[in-house]
């Protein structure tokens, strides 16, 4: 489902509205560009991990994925590049401190001139330091915030591999260990000579939507879906806490996107009640309120993490707000206005 959605994001190059709600005590690292980027998430930032694990069974292993930029499938769930491919832009860490702003990052034109890091390789690309000198992408399409054991205990029939945040963090630890075989123990990893953790950028998310998708599509009442938000947010918070304790100083955490604007859900929950839809966007209000509920709890969790780790910079990336701007004014971003009557056709493209 997220494949076409990811393509929309990358096609316009948007990165998010970013709210820097930082404490006055945060450390301002020395000026300079990021030395490495480490990413954790799902299909919105998967650069080929699922394709490697699944082979030709992964949709992103086949055309038309990758046709507009790489001219071949790369395992990215988009026709070109993913958001992460545009992240290594030319601003220093010290410019991020003590600010509160929103921005729409770049247009496609001139993006390469702004890049300061190569494309971040998927973790499946190799297992040595030479493969990941500038970071690694651990995101896997379909990944959930919470591991499979939780859902098995909840009575779900598990049919997916466990590529959750916990698994991705284990891969990160393995990478650090392989880069510094003489370094033992998590507390020592921040002194790894392979990576300067202080000047590395850590991206967490978007993640959490896949935890909710199977519940929503299983026709469960919204109240039962809401019950999963707290443990999902807790899992995300635990991952961030682990990264900071490992030595991360700059962490960007994305909220979830507006689920009520996604065609597969617009089709599944179609109603004749005009009041159920946002007149400005045509999105289902109750589903978007669910996304907002997740994001509110996530921001509270980030606030607690900032208090616990005052020397780390933890940034919330408001993907919800950025996308609502696009849905409200699609022509402004080069997208046609698509009538609601076409939702069945759109749903097919998300399957």
pLDDT tens by residue, 1-29: 444 444 444 434 344 444 433 332 344 44
> 248 with 200: CB under 8 angstroms?
yes
Q: How many whole angstroms separate alpha carbon 55 and alpha carbon 61?
A: 7
* pLDDT above 70 (res 250): yes
Question: 183-187, 216-220, 294-298: lowest mean pLDDT where?
Answer: 183-187
Q: What's the mean per-residue pLDDT of the chain?
A: 76
pTM of the model: 0.80
* pLDDT above 50 (res 206): yes
The mean per-residue pLDDT over the stretch 210-224 comes to 84
- Quickly list DSSP for 43-80: TTT-BSHHHHHHGGGSGGGSTTTTTTTTSS--SBSSSS
Q: In the structure, what pLDDT confidence band is assigned to residue 76 with cuts at 50, 70 and 90?
A: confident
* Residue 55: per-residue pLDDT: 75
Look up tokens 């999963």; give the residue. 228
> 88 with 115: CB under 8 angstroms?
yes
Q: How far is CA 187 from CA 167, 243, 263, 279, in A?
A: 19, 11, 45, 52
Full set of structural domains in the chain with CATH: 2-350 (3.40.50)
> Which letter, b or e, does each residue of 186-197 get, where b requires 16 or more Cβ atoms within 10 Å of its Cβ?
eeebbebebbbb
* Residue 183: per-residue pLDDT: 35
DSSP state of 136: E
Q: In the structure, what pLDDT confidence band is assigned to residue 110 with cuts at 50, 70 and 90?
A: very low
Q: How far is CA 60 from CA 39, 55, 56, 125, 214, in A?
A: 19, 10, 8, 16, 21
Q: How many whole angstroms separate alpha carbon 43 and alpha carbon 255?
A: 14
Q: How many whole angstroms separate alpha carbon 108 and alpha carbon 111?
A: 6
* Most confident residue range from 63-77, 97-111, 271-285: 271-285
Give residue-wise pLDDT tens across range 263-290: 989 999 999 999 999 999 999 999 999 9
Rounded to the nearest 10 degrees, what angle do helices 229-246 and 285-308 cross at? 30
Question: 141-155, 274-288, 302-316, 333-347: lowest mean pLDDT where?
Answer: 333-347
Coil vs helix vs strand at 85: helix
Q: Which residues contact 9 (CB under 8 A, 6 or more apart)?
A: 44, 78, 82, 83, 323
Question: 139-148, 198-207, 342-351: lowest mean pLDDT where?
Answer: 342-351
């Amino acid at each position: 489902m997220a494949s076409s959605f990811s393509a929309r994001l990358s096609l316009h190059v948007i990165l998010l509205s970013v709210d820097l709600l930082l404490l006055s005590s945060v450390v301002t690292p020395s000026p300079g560009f990021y030395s490495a980027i480490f990413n954790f998430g799902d299909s919105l930032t998967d650069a080929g991990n699922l394709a490697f694990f699944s082979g030709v069974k992964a949709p992103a292993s086949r055309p038309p994925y990758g046709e507009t930029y790489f001219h071949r499938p790369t395992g990215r769930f988009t026709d070109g590049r993913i958001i992460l491919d545009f992240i290594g832009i030319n601003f220093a860490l010290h410019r991020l401190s003590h600010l509160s702003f929103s921005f729409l990052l770049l247009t496609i034109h001139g993006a390469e001139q702004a890049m300061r890091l190569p494309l971040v390789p998927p973790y499946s690309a190799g297992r040595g330091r030479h493969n990941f000198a500038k970071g690694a992408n651990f995101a896997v399409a379909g990944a959930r915030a919470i591991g499979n054991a939780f859902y098995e205990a909840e009575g779900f029939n598990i049919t997916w591999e466990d590529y959750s945040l916990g698994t991705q963090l284990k891969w990160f630890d393995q990478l650090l260990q392989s880069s510094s075989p003489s370094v033992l123990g998590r507390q020592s990893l921040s002194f790894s000579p392979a990576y300067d953790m202080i000047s590395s950028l850590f991206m967490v998310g978007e993640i959490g939507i896949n935890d909710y998708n199977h519940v929503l599509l299983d026709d469960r009442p919204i109240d039962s879906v809401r019950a999963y938000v707290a443990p999902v947010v807790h899992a995300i918070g635990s991952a961030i806490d682990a990264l900071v304790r490992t030595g991360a100083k700059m962490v960007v955490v994305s909220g979830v996107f507006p689920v009520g604007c996604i065609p597969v859900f617009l089709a599944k929950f179609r109603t004749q009640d005009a009041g159920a839809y946002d007149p400005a966007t045509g999105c289902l209000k109750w589903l978007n309120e669910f996304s907002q509920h997740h994001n509110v709890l996530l921001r509270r969790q980030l606030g607690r993490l900032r208090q616990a780790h005052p020397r780390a910079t933890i940034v919330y990336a408001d993907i919800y707000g950025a996308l609502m701007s696009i849905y409200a004014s699609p022509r402004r971003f080069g997208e046609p206005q698509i009538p609601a009557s076409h939702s069945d056709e759109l749903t097919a493209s998300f399957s």
